[in-house]
Each structure stands twice: as C-alpha cells, then as structure tokens.
Amino acid sequence: MRVAIVTGAIAPYTHRLYEAFARTHTVDLTVLVCGRIEPQRQWRVPPPEHYRLQVLSGLRRHVSYTRHVYFNPSVLTALARLRPDTIVIEDFSPTMALAAAYARATGTPYGIKTDGHRGTDPGERSRIHHGMRRLLVPSASFGICASEDSVALLEHWGLDAGRSVIVPIVTPWDAPDRVPAFTERRFDTLFAGALNEDIKGAGFFVDVVEAVVCRGLKPLVRVTGDGPLRAEMAARLARLGVTAQFDGPLQPPQMPDVYGSARLLLFPSRGDAWGLVANEAAFCGTPVIGSPQAISSQRLVERYNVGVVRPLDVGLWADAVMDMLSSEAQWHGFTARRGEVIADFSLDASVARLARALDATHDRAPPGRGP
C-alpha cells in the first residue's frame, strides 16, 4: 500500500511514529511537508530511514508566533507522481485543500488526522476556518484522532460516525526504566514548552509561583523552552527572590532527565489541543497540575490519576502546588500509575491503531462514490 501524509512540518514524535509504522508494516510511506521546520521550533529531527520525507515548494504566511498558513501548489504534482492508494491530511490549510481536491478528482480515499477538540478549534470562531472544515471533513473517508474529543470534533464537522480511529500521541522517546524519588529531585516546579501566554500560559505560571511565595514557600523552579516571555519571566522570578534555571530549548533525548529533575509539572495551557508534556511527565513519574484547556488533562491526568486538573485560577493552582509538595506519600500516589500510562500510550499501541485506520480504507469508498 502506498500512503502519502500531507502535513505542515515533521515533529520528533510524529517522526518516531512514522518510522516505526513504516518499519513494521508493508507500506510505502511518503510524508509531504509544507516546511522542513516551523520558525519557532528549534528541535532537530533525524533523517528518516524507513519512510520518505519531501519538502514541498510554496508559500508560508506567518500569522503569529505559533500559527502559519501554507500554500503549496506543488502538492498536486507530488501526489500525481506518487499515486498513493491513501492520503492523510493534517491541518486545514490551503495546501490540504489542494490535496483533498486531488483525492476527489482521482477517487483516492483520504483521511484527516487531528488532535483538535471543539474547545480550542478555530472553526468555531472564524468563517474561513469554518469553511475549510466544511469543505474537507464531510468528503473524508476516515479520521485519525488523538482522543474521543477529536472524534467528536470531526463528527461535528460532518464525518460519518464510526469512521475514526483513536491513535494516541506518542512521546519522542521511550519511558525511562527508573524514575527519581521525591527526595532525589532538585526542583519543585517545572514549566516545559513555548514561553508565551496566549497558548502555553507562561505568565500564569509565574503568577502561581508568586502566589506560592506569598504562602511562605520559595520553590526551586526550572523552565525549559524559549519564546517571547523568557526575559520577562526571568525578571519577575528574580524580583521574587526565586532561584530559577532557564534551560532554553532542549532536544527530545534530554527531556526525560528534565522531567525527572522536578517534583511537579505545571501545565497551565490556554489553547493546546492535546498537550504532549502531560504524557512526557507521566512517563517520568512527575505529577501534573493541568489546565482543562488541554484535552490531555482530562483524558490522561485525571483518567489515570497522575496529577490534578484545576481551572485557570491562580489561587487554586497555588493551593494545589502547596498541597502536592507537602505530602511525599500523596506525591508517590500520583506516580504509582505511570505504568498504565506507558502501556496505553506506547509506540506499539499507536502503530497498531494507525495500521488499523489505514487498513480500513480498503473497505471504504470515498463518500459519494460507489464501491
């Protein structure tokens, strides 16, 4: 089977999934990317060994620090040359609309891969995004979804019920065999991700640290990542007299040690779809305080009891930090179920589900066509 995946850019965790899938299944996989790496990303992804990666020529419109719109007409010639049996599109940019147009014109089944949910989906607020979803989703043959919420999102936009498969997002690395105990961890709180407020809540993180200081605790803080708020965060923490280590951007193989160095991960998301840092923290036995804005908070943190979820209220978050740091026994209770998370979000499990989603396309004609 020849499969083409059309996406904005490859990420370490998607690279790992596609490598494993192409290595273990009889499939000719090509990933067509609109750009090799998005400007705000600083990770390094090794060249693929088991699938092909092709960078499409075209245009990229910079919308914000984390948002880009792609227009790559070369996707049509790339697909015509590959003649895939199945196409998977990620995102709803003009490039994806061109890929869907090729699929319709040639009778090729296509699916939509998403980790989105209605709470953060721009289709609920923008006419353009609304129109793109109405254009692309109803004609899709299947969905590849990160959660039940992603399934509901695609069905909301017109995908027939029962046509989606949940493929859990995988971490870019294997879970460590051993994780440090409470007393072995140097830092109290960790922030990991882009240092912005509108999506990641980096300013809110500092607000919580300030509230914790007002309660009599000066936590040791670690911040991993980069972004427009880095200087402001460092200055505010310094004024509070808080010792903070700013790592800057790190590569995926370094992250298990980062999570294992902290007693808590604070994940005050304001606009993530899934939120992979929750997976990574749970793999490393690091309890999470999560925001309800990220679906991983409900579907992973609460479901597996590897932390707590609180509304984005500074006082409630400060209370949770104080409570979780005050009881080593309670902390170990949150880490005790990491094995279940590792099993359910394993690479093998996701590869098997991806294969199931793609294999099912053989039995599904594109909507509006005969068998």
- pLDDT tens digits, 13-71: 999 999 999 999 989 999 999 987 766 677 889 999 999 999 999 876 665 545 667 88
- Determine the average pLDDT of the residues in 246-251: 95
pLDDT above 60 for 128: yes
224 strand-pairing partners: 192, 248
Residue 255 has pLDDT above 80, yes or no: yes
Q: Is the pLDDT of residue 290 over 70?
A: yes
139-188, pLDDT tens digit by residue? 999 999 999 999 999 999 999 999 999 999 999 999 999 999 999 999 99
The rounded percent of the chain whose pLDDT value lies above 90 is 83
- Average pLDDT rounded to a whole number, residues 273-290: 97
Residues 6 or more apart whose Cβ sits within 8 Å of residue 318: 208, 211, 212, 214, 215
Q: Which of 261, 340, 332 has the alpha carbon at shortest distance from 300?
A: 340
Residue 49 token pair: 């060994």
DSSP 155-216: HHTTPPTT-EEE-----SSPPPS----GGG--EEEEEES---STTT-HHHHHHHHHHHHHTT
Which pLDDT value is given to residue 369? 39
pTM (two decimals): 0.92
Average pLDDT value for residue range 286-299: 96
Residues in the chain: 371
Question: Residue 62: its pLDDT value, please?
Answer: 61
Q: What is the mean pLDDT of residues 286-313?
A: 97
Give the per-residue pLDDT at 125. Answer: 83
* pLDDT tens readout for residues 72-104: 899 999 999 999 999 999 988 899 999 999 999
Q: Which helix (H) or strand (E) segment is 321 a member of?
A: helix 314-326
Average pLDDT across the chain, whole number: 92
- Which backbone phi and psi does 223 adopt, to 5 degrees? -125, 120
Interatomic CA distance for residues 137 and 154, integer angstroms: 7
Note the pLDDT of residue 278: 98
d(CA 139, CA 61): 26
DSSP state of 368: T
| Mean pLDDT of all residues in 281-310 | 97
The DSSP bridge partners found for residue 309 are 290
Task: Answer with the residue of higher pLDDT: 130 or 61.
Answer: 130
Kindly report, residue by residue over 340-369, the tens digit of the pLDDT. 999 999 999 999 999 999 987 655 544 543
Question: What percentage of the chain reaches a pLDDT higher than 70?
Answer: 94
Please give the structure tokens belonging to residue 257.
Answer: 């040690």
Predicted local confidence at residue 71, as pLDDT: 87
